[in-house]
Structure 1
Amino acid sequence: MRAAVIGAGIGGLCTAVGLQRAGAEVTIYERAAELKPVGSGLSIFANGLTALESLGLGDAFRAITSTQAGRLRGGQRRPDGGWLATIPSNAVTELRIVHRAELHRILLEALEPGTLRLGVEVLEVSPDGAELRTADGSERFDLVVAADGIRSRVRSSWPGDPGIHYSGYSTWRGVTEQPVDLGGEAGETWGHGERFGLAPLADGRIYWFAVATMPAGSTIDDEYAEVVRRFGSWHHPIPELIRGTAPETVFRLDINDLAGPAPTFRRGRCVLLGDAAHAMTPDLGQGGGQAMEDAATLVALLGRISAEPTPSPGDLDTALAEYDRLRRSRTQPIARRARTVGAVAHTRGRLGVTARNALMRLTPASATARQLAAIQSWRPPAAV
């Protein structure tokens, strides 16, 4: 089977590796002339690890991560350090925090030489999903995987594209230059329309993010100074983490998700994957994990079809239809829940924050554990 993957992000690379190992001939089209992974961390829970295992990437991933984050006391705190809610210790035992650059490295190393074509932008995919066009011409494939991100050109050309929705908040991200002792505690701190989260990387450095409600496209002259102004007086070790990060490495991104559920993840022989299909806010830490699940699901459903020089159209159609059904039913409720969590976290006003904090303190830890278990207990399907 000849397969094209549009986009060399996490989901696209995982898909390409899995399809190649299943016997497919794969080409990745990436419009960037050079890959420059964002310098930040990524949370991968048990379901993401299961997906990587299914793709044959589990050992390589474990080699660059640890379960340290899952052993720390986590949950939500107030800016003065008082705990609002804690996550049960056995609910996130497989949680791993990975630097995006390291994850990209192991995925690229797992590809066969010549798979990746940099600086090539896909301009269009035919309505039957089997032909893509670039500036150099057109080419046909048995399968086209559109993993071209939240602003997917492929998705935007389909009927019913929901478009993009701004969450109302923007996020700074940074990684400390040196290891920092967290004293056995991690998680997030929730204030009035502001949040700060932190988690350890395998080498002891700390990945952190700072979130604030603001208009979309806000311009800030000095991003690092703004982080200091907003969060520099919050509880230990937040000020130390900010001071321990090189100012020039701190960057900010507006947080967007899809404005609504995409009506389909499949059009002919083309499927949407990752953020192109179900971009969600990072409030459940599931963006990367769901892209990994997408890749593992697609590879599993195709099964032996991947190794066939000319796959049966009927078999391919059945597998892609099942991918569409399974992944929409799995990802879209998670995306809705993530948006809800973000809205609650960014409650503003004294009365609203007081009510939110009281609700968090009253929520049983067992309920939190059940919700986390429901997300993490995923398994790849059998081949169609």
Structure 2
Amino acid sequence: MTLEKKPKAVIVGGSIGGVSCAHTLILAGWDVVVLEKSYQAPTGSPTGAGLGLDPLSLQLIQSWIKDPELLKRTTLPLTIDQNDAVDGEKKVRWTLTRDEKFNCRAAHWADLHALLYHALPPNLFLWGHHFQSFSISSDKRSVQVKALSLQSNETVEVIGDLLVAADGCLSKIRQSFVPDHKLRYSGYCAWRGVLDFSGSEKSETIVGIRKAYPELGKCLYFGLGSGSHTVLYELLNKRLNWIWYVHQPEPDLKSDSMTMKANSDMIQAMHKEAEKMWLPEFVRVIKETSHPFINAIYDSEPLEQIYWDNVVLVGDAAHPTTPHATRSTNMSVLDAAVLGQCLKKWGAENLQSALEEYQSIRLPVVSKQVLHARRMGRIKQGLALPDLQSFDPKTANPEECQELQQRLMPFFSDVPSILV
């Protein structure tokens, strides 16, 4: 007797989307190899980004890891979504909207990645392998992927039945199918940082910020000023995650990353501007954060398709989005879950049917969510919309303020039937 060979998937990109797909494809009965240009798995460094996980993502991740309680122990609740107006001149703030049934949890990116990565079988990742190109066989039944080993400088070839493009918003794989599809600059960038206050819990800064924002540890705080807004929430292990969105011309990105380092002069100028716009308690948090960095904020017009032959897009490769609706990570996790279930349902012998169903489920959802996140960002930044005047937090009426709530996101709490 001979055992039937398992189908094989090559995943390009080992971020949250890629590592989530590794879980779901293994559960669907596939062999998996992940190509990732980083030399090793990321560690829980104090810099990096925070993220919010919605109830469905939490449920899915818990089903993938060996000890589902680990997820609760590495996240903090975000049960409240609150939008406040901030008057920088008078140094006062007041609440515009408050949703006490938000039911999300806050995680540090590196913590979540480590949780997912260590729950996988060993030796799936080819670390330090930079994707170069791919080719589809003439019968459309296999795909050959070439990657450069950054350690040996040799080209490695991997052949699989399916190529999963989890290579981010600047996806080279997506570009090969839709070369004219461009990213859209939002008109603003984000200063970001994570303040590690372990050992200084009783400092003036931490006592002050907890007094000004008493529900840190369970609340997602948005602060809306004049043509700008901020985000503040607590992460596990005594860390505060903050974001400040600032209008500026499109930056000249020097690499394949949306993240830019800031020099000391840039940081000092940012501190001075923060003093004019925000409450002193929030400004102190910004000033005490080591190595704040800048994210250029992009999205793109929704794609018309997210698979071709035996190549499929997931995560930011499929739907670059602005971060205002805490969707990016949740979209990636759900992409992975739906893809895995479609492959399990149809089997490798019916790959086209599986990818067609994946696209039919996810494309209408992510297209609307990308456009809604764009709309939320423009409202909170005080930018004009075709159907709305620029939002002014000082004069906005209750109906206008409702547009700020996260739960207005299309398909906010929907669960695809294939996952039920």
TM-score > 0.5 by shorter chain: yes
Aligned residue in 1 for 2:255:
none
Distance 1:205 1:83 in 2: 25
Aligned residue in 2 for 1:206:
240
Given candidates 316, 321, 341, the residue that maps to 1:275 is: 316
Q: Report if the CA contact (8 A) 1:12-1:147 is conserved.
A: yes
Tell me how far 1:304 sits from its aligned partner.
5.8
Aligned residue in 1 for 2:342:
301
Q: Report if the CA contact (8 A) 1:168-1:213 is conserved.
A: yes
Secondary structure of the residue aligned to 2:167 is coil
Equivalent position amino acid for 2:169 in 1? I
Q: Moved runs in structure 1, 4+ residues, more than 6 A?
A: none
Q: Is the alpha carbon distance of 1:364 and 1:354 closer, same or farther for their aligned partners in structure 2, counting shifts above 3 Å?
A: closer
Distance 1:288 1:166 in 2: 20
Task: Tell me if 1:153 matches 2:176.
Answer: no
Secondary structure of the residue aligned to 2:113 is helix
Q: Report if the CA contact (8 A) 1:162-1:261 is conserved.
A: no
Distance 1:120 1:85 in 2: 48
Distance 1:262 1:245 in 2: 38
Aligned residue in 2 for 1:189:
223
Q: Deviations over 1:289-337 (max 9, x none)?
A: 100110111111122666xxxx31xx22111101111111110100001
Distance 1:368 1:173 in 2: 22
Distance 1:323 1:207 in 2: 34
Distance 1:292 1:124 in 2: 25
Aligned residue in 1 for 2:294:
252
The two structures have a TM-score, normalised by structure 2, of: 0.79
Given candidates 118, 137, 151, the residue that maps to 2:127 is: 118
Q: Report if the CA contact (8 A) 1:31-1:118 is conserved.
A: yes
Secondary structure of the residue aligned to 2:146 is strand
Given candidates 326, 329, 343, the residue that maps to 2:361 is: 326
Q: Report if the CA contact (8 A) 2:10-2:158 is conserved.
A: no
Distance 2:167 2:344 in 1: 24
Q: Is the alpha carbon distance of 1:369 and 1:100 closer, same or farther for their aligned partners in structure 2, counting shifts above 3 Å?
A: closer
**Which structure carries more strand by proportion?**
2
Q: Deviations over 1:20-67 (max 9, x none)?
A: 233321100012334447612112222322332454575432220121
Q: Report if the CA contact (8 A) 2:166-2:317 is conserved.
A: yes
Aligned residue in 1 for 2:12:
6
Trace 1:1-384 onto structure 2 (pairs within 5 A).
1-36=7-42, 39-56=48-65, 58-67=68-77, 69-71=78-80, 74-79=82-87, 80-90=91-101, 92=102, 94-127=103-136, 128=140, 130-135=143-148, 136-159=155-178, 161-178=180-197, 180=206, 181=210, 182-184=213-215, 186-217=220-251, 221=263, 222-233=265-276, 234-235=278-279, 237-246=281-290, 249-258=291-300, 260-303=301-344, 311-312=348-349, 315-347=350-382, 355=392, 357-359=394-396, 361-363=398-400, 368=405, 371=408, 374-382=410-418
Distance 2:169 2:143 in 1: 22
Q: Is the alpha carbon distance of 1:267 and 1:353 closer, same or farther for their aligned partners in structure 2, counting shifts above 3 Å?
A: closer
Distance 2:156 2:307 in 1: 24
Distance 1:284 1:156 in 2: 26
Identical columns (%): 25
Tell me how far 1:379 sits from its aligned partner.
1.9
Equivalent position amino acid for 2:271 in 1? V
**Which structure carries more helix by proportion?**
1
Distance 1:377 1:191 in 2: 29
The two structures have a TM-score, normalised by structure 1, of: 0.86
Tell me how far 1:154 sits from its aligned partner.
0.3
Distance 1:227 1:346 in 2: 17
Q: Structure 2: 5+ residue runs without aligned partners? A: 1-6, 149-154, 253-259
Distance 2:193 2:322 in 1: 18
Distance 1:188 1:227 in 2: 19
Aligned CA-pair RMSD: 2.9
Q: Deviations over 1:136-166 (max 9, x none)?
A: 2533212111000011000000036521111
Q: Is the alpha carbon distance of 1:56 and 1:305 closer, same or farther for their aligned partners in structure 2, counting shifts above 3 Å?
A: farther
Moved more, 295-304 or 176-185: 176-185
